[in-house]
Amino acid sequence: MEQPVLPEPGSTERTRLRRIPEKAVTDREVLHAILDAGLVAHVGIVDENGQPYVVPVAYARDGDRILFHGSTGSRLFRRLADGAPTCVTVTLLDGLVLARSAFESSMHYRGAMALGTCTVLMDEQKDDALRRISDHLLPGRWDDIRSPSRKERVSTLVLALPLDEVSVKVSDGMPDDVEEDRDRPVWAGVVPIREVFGAPLPDEAGAAFPVPDYVSGWTR
Amino acid sequence: MEQPVLPEPGSTERTRLRRIPEKAVTDREVLHAILDAGLVAHVGIVDENGQPYVVPVAYARDGDRILFHGSTGSRLFRRLADGAPTCVTVTLLDGLVLARSAFESSMHYRGAMALGTCTVLMDEQKDDALRRISDHLLPGRWDDIRSPSRKERVSTLVLALPLDEVSVKVSDGMPDDVEEDRDRPVWAGVVPIREVFGAPLPDEAGAAFPVPDYVSGWTR
């Protein structure tokens, strides 16, 4: 388990995991599956004084890039539009790992991190990206709602980050206790965590219409 | 709803929300509740070349500071130990907001962000912080497991970030559609999301012991 991770396409000196390399996964399908399963990404942006900010965003994967949007009025997002380096991280928490020592106690998770600089999407590409973000978060919804107006599109900054420099970590095993802890007389294992949808709650005018089939079919 | 947010204790020019100020909440109890409900925080760290990284961590709140840990072998965590500025963000996703336009479609969330520099905790403070992080993630577990050995403690960097400069955002309303969309003949409202625990899965040796009451009692 402690073998060094060999460089793979998409892995660089910056994203090659130095800690816990056995949790590093370089399969691009796993990367895509993580990004497709997440709903929120955390974007790192550094301001003009070197202060980092970590901002949650809705996003979508489009092939080998991540699409996300912000307000054109946000000074942080404008920095990304100007080519500031960024990091976009998606973390899916899958469970708690109850080992027999504090040190080995941990979490099950799937995590993807992408480093790079963003491209600002314009015109048809921008419209397409907005639809993709909606389709990722609210599949089936787009055709039922009003498309962005010219004014709304102008106030929205749509960014694309290529998945060129990425790292993927998956922790999904049973507790990895050291030999001398294994006889400890205590329950040990994993408590799974998952997200579930609750019953849809309509607003006042929405209650006059049936819950759409696409909403009833959403699962996590 | 579009009133400017007045400066409050804990709010600075850097954390005063410029976008969507109606979602900003300055109540310290709300801040504490968000941090106490989350399991994973995302930490922003800038490397020596100005590249940001966003790293998921386990954490705990201790009064008005956030405690988290990393490996002493991690070059990124060592930067935090050396006083590099950071941002710690906790985001709780509570639901999907299905408005009648793409622009107003969004998410229910509770989010907290803290900016500052970390203190490295040593000796008794370090031991206390490790227990607090365990108690936050795995309440009741500590007394059943082996405490960190000297070697494990040495390899663990424990950091504290004060909650001095913070912003809190809560989005929990029904869709905020513009007037001309309100007659659209479509269901609209909110689909709640929550995390749930699945049935505990023991490892081979752990199956010989009953699931502890503290685990059976965990709820999200």
> Helix/strand/coil (H, E, C) string of B2-48?
CCCCCCCCCCCCCCCCCCCHHHECCCHHHHHHHHHHCCEEEEEEECC
Per the domain annotation, does B8 fall within a domain?
no
Q: By C-alpha distance, which of B164, B161, B193 is closest to B59?
A: B161
The pair of three-digit structure tokens given for residue B17, joined into one six-digit string? 């929300």
pLDDT score at A2: 31
Cα A159 vs. chain centroid, distance in angstroms?
Answer: 15
Proportion of chain B above pLDDT 70, given as a percent: 89
Chain A contacts of B91, Cβ < 8 Å? 40, 42, 56
pLDDT score at A25: 66
Instruction: Please judge whether A145 and B91 are an interchain contact, meaning their C-beta atoms are less than 8 angstroms apart.
Output: no
Classify the phi-psi angles of A179: left when phi > 0, otherwise alpha if psi is within -120 to 50, otherwise beta: alpha
Q: In one letter, which amino acid is A11?
A: S
Residues 149-168 (B) with a CB less than 8 A from some CB of A: 149, 152, 156
**What distance in Å separates the CA atoms of residue A177 and residue A104, rounded to the nearest whole number?**
6
Chain B contacts of A106, Cβ < 8 Å? 58
**What distance in Å separates the CA atoms of residue A120 and residue A78, rounded to the nearest whole number?**
10
Contact assessment for residue B91 and residue B42, using Cβ atoms and an 8 Å cutoff: yes
Q: Helix, strand, coil % (nearest 5) of chain A?
A: 25, 35, 40
Q: By C-alpha distance, which of B219, B84, B40 is closest to B140?
A: B219
Taking the CA atoms of residue B36, residue B40, residue B41 and residue B44 in that order, the dihedral angle to the nearest 10 degrees is 170
**What distance in Å separates the CA atoms of residue A68 and residue B22, rounded to the nearest whole number?**
22
Chain B contacts of A174, Cβ < 8 Å? 203-204
Residues 78-117 (A) with a CB less than 8 A from some CB of B: 85-89, 91, 93, 95-96, 98-103, 105-107, 109, 111, 113, 115
Per the domain annotation, does B127 fall within a domain?
yes
pLDDT score at B219: 87
Q: What angle (nearest 5°) sits at the alpha carbon of residue B86, between those of residues B85 and B90? A: 165
R_g of chain B, CA atoms, integer Å: 21
**For residue B152, is pLDDT > 90?**
yes
Residues 43-72 (B) with a CB less than 8 A from some CB of A: 43-47, 50-56, 58, 71
> Which of A45, A191, A204 lies at the smallest CB-CB distance from B200?
A191
The pair of three-digit structure tokens given for residue B114, joined into one six-digit string? 């803290």
**What distance in Å separates the CA atoms of residue A105 and residue B152, rounded to the nearest whole number?**
12
Residue-range definition of the domain harbouring residue A134: 21-216
Proportion of chain B above pLDDT 90, given as a percent: 86
Model pLDDT for residues B116-139, shown as the tens digit of each residue: 999 999 999 999 999 999 999 999
Q: What is the mean pLDDT of each run of 10 residues along chain A (220 residues)?
A: 38 62 73 97 97 98 97 94 98 98 97 97 98 98 97 96 94 96 97 97 97 93
Q: What is the CATH classification number for the domain harbouring B108?
A: 2.30.110.10
Interface residue B216 vs chain A (CB under 8 A): no
Taking the CA atoms of residue A30, residue A36, residue A39 and residue A41 in that order, the dihedral angle to the nearest 10 degrees is 60
Q: How many CB atoms lie within 10 A of CB A99?
A: 26
Q: By C-alpha distance, which of A81, A94, A80, A86 is closest to A34?
A: A94
Interface residue B197 vs chain A (CB under 8 A): yes
pLDDT score at A14: 74
Q: Is B131 helix (H, G, I), strand (E, B) or coil?
A: helix
Classify the phi-psi angles of B35: left when phi > 0, otherwise alpha if psi is within -120 to 50, otherwise beta: alpha
Q: If residue A215 lies in a helix (H) or strand (E), which one and from where to where?
A: helix A213-216
Per the domain annotation, does B5 fall within a domain?
no
Instruction: Please judge whether A56 and B138 are an interchain contact, meaning their C-beta atoms are less than 8 angstroms apart.
Output: no
Q: How many domains does chain B have?
A: 1
Q: Which residues share a beta bridge with A110?
A: A92, A170
CA distance A209 to chain B (A): 5
The pair of three-digit structure tokens given for residue A167, joined into one six-digit string? 């790292």
Contact assessment for residue A99 and residue A105, using Cβ atoms and an 8 Å cutoff: yes
Chain B contacts of A147, Cβ < 8 Å? 101-102
Q: How many CB atoms lie within 10 A of CB A182?
A: 14
CA distance A117 to chain B (A): 10
pLDDT score at A75: 93
> Which of B93, B149, B187 lies at the smallest CB-CB distance from A206?
B187
Per the domain annotation, does A5 fall within a domain?
no
Q: Which residues share a beta bridge with B46?
A: B52
**What distance in Å separates the CA atoms of residue B111 and residue B123, rounded to the nearest whole number?**
32
Chain A contacts of B183, Cβ < 8 Å? 205
ipTM score for this prediction: 0.92
Per the domain annotation, does B10 fall within a domain?
no
pLDDT score at B27: 84
**What distance in Å separates the CA atoms of residue A184 and residue A102, rounded to the nearest whole number?**
13
pLDDT score at B204: 96
pLDDT score at A7: 37
CA distance A64 to chain B (A): 20
Q: Which residue has the higher pLDDT, A149 or B4?
A: A149
- The count of CB pairs under 8 A between chains A and B is 290
Per the domain annotation, does A157 fall within a domain?
yes
Per the domain annotation, does A6 fall within a domain?
no
Q: Which residues share a beta bridge with B61?
A: B66
